[in-house]
Amino acid sequence: MNTEVDQTEARVATSANPAPSGSLRWVVKGVAAAVILAISATAAHMHWPSAAPVASPPPPSVAISAPLQRDIEGRLGFLGQFSAVNRVDLRAQVGGTLVQINFKDGDIVHKGDVLFEVDPEPYQIKLSQATAGLESANARLALATRELARAQELQRSEAGTVENVDQKVAEQRVAQAAVDNANALVRDARFDLDRCKITAPFTGRIGTHLVSTGNLISGSRAGSGPTTLLATLVSLDPIYLDFDISENDYAAFQHAREDRKGPLVDAVNISPTGDNGYTRTGTLNFIDNTLDRSSGTIHARATIPNSDLSLTPGGFARLRLAMTAPQAALLVPDAAVLQDQTDHMVYVVGADNVAMPRKVEIGDLRGGLRVIRSGLAPTERIVIDGIPSVRPGSKISPHAGAIEFSAEHGGQGAES
């Protein structure tokens, strides 16, 4: 009996234990709710500062100007290479030992200057032999002439025969032929002796000597046999400038040539490498008779005066060829022209200072400026400085700029 009572009390005590834990949870929830309400009430009575409005950036400041107007001629530009009008490989016409070199490598030599000397002694001996042979032939001719005269005198006095006279005539003719042959041998020997001195055939610059003194060289009059190359000589004044013209440019040039008359048709201006601008002039003097099928170009050549000898064969130069008489054109700074894939454009500024892109067709450079062929009016204003800050259709803050034509580019600028 007591045992059952104790178990019942134990169950009652166990089931009663969770009651305090449930009460605690409700207390905690109530406190949390009160804190949240207090925070909400405090926040309702607090005044948080409002965010300041974002100010828009000012329009970019850029320089604007109307395009520059100039009268310029139409022209074509090419890249050419200089070549010598005359070029010769110096070779000896007689063989022997080279005994003298009379120049320094790279010298300017003049026509007739002795450049190399071959040992002349063997040829002096040959000339002496030929001279002796000529004297002997002259002596025989003199004897044959006297014998012919005696035979003719005997025939007139009827002491000689006609046959004897005919024989003396034949002997005299043989002696005369021997004299002619001896004269030819003398000239031949003197020719060889004279060719022991190799002279400059024209004025120009000589290259390095390829054979030193003491070497045995071979020579040939006709060049058919083996010969020794001694040096190379090129002329410098005037000098050629060779270049190639495309088929389209050649057709345009031909049409322009039909319309223009006078010496300016063939006048060319050149800018050698290292020169500032087109400082020299020349004359177009040759256009080939056929187009190269592989490249679609035709070869042309201009002659350039070179009195100061500063132009060298093998060097390069830019060349421009006038096509039309000077005509009005619009010029803008090259930096003001933007490229959009295959098109070109400039920023044109409207009355409300809004910059809008405008497609234009460009030409070459003149005076450091880009030629605008079409797409722009003379009175329109374009952005010439501060272009990176400009966006299509955006407002700008313009100020006046200036476009300057540079006379340092040969008066007309470089080719594109």
Per-residue pLDDT reduced to its tens digit, 62-113: 899 999 888 887 778 889 999 999 999 999 999 999 999 999 999 999 999 9
Task: Please indicate, yes or no, whether residues 394 and 336 belong to a single structural domain of this protein.
Answer: yes
Q: Note the pLDDT of residue 408.
A: 52
Alpha-carbon span 44 to 301, nearest angstrom: 94
Q: Can you say how many angstroms the Cα of residue 124 is from the centroid of all Cα atoms in its chain?
A: 52
Amino acid 7: pLDDT: 44
Does any domain span residue 24?
Answer: no
Q: Is 331 helix (H, G, I), strand (E, B) or coil?
A: strand
Residue 160, classified by CB atoms within 10 Å of its CB into exposed (0-12), middle (13-18) or buried (19+), is middle
pTM: 0.64
Q: Final residue of a domain: which of 195, 217, 237?
A: 195
330-356 in b/e form (b: 16+ CB < 10 A) is bbbbeebbeeeeeebbbbbbeeeeebe
**Residue 95 domain flag:** no
Q: Give the domain CATH number at 367.
A: 2.40.420.20
Instruction: Report yes or no on 284 lying in a domain.
Output: no
Q: 360 - beta bridge partners?
A: 344
Domain boundary residue, one of 195, 214, 246: 195
pLDDT at 382 (0 to 100): 92
Gap between the Cα atoms of 340 and 162, Å rounded: 110
Structural domain includes residue 407: no
- The CATH number of whichever domain residue 132 belongs to comes to 1.10.287
Whether 225 is covered by a domain: the verdict is no
The answer as to whether 179 is a domain residue is yes
* Residue 127 falls inside a structural domain: yes
Give, in order, the Cα–Cα distances in Å from 61 to each of 40, 270, 399, 400: 51, 41, 7, 11
CA distances in angstroms from 209 to 89, 103, 230, listed in the order given: 11, 9, 6
Residue 230 confidence (pLDDT): 94
Show the low-confidence residues of the chain (pLDDT under 70): 1-55, 259-265, 407-416
Residue 158, domain member (yes or no): yes
Which residue, among 296, 299, 291, 300, has the nearest Cα to 266 in the 3D structure? 300
Report pLDDT for 47.
52
- Looking at residue 33, what is its pLDDT? 52
Q: Please state the domain count of the chain.
A: 2
Q: Which domain holds residue 336?
A: 62-71+328-400
Give the per-residue pLDDT at 261: 58
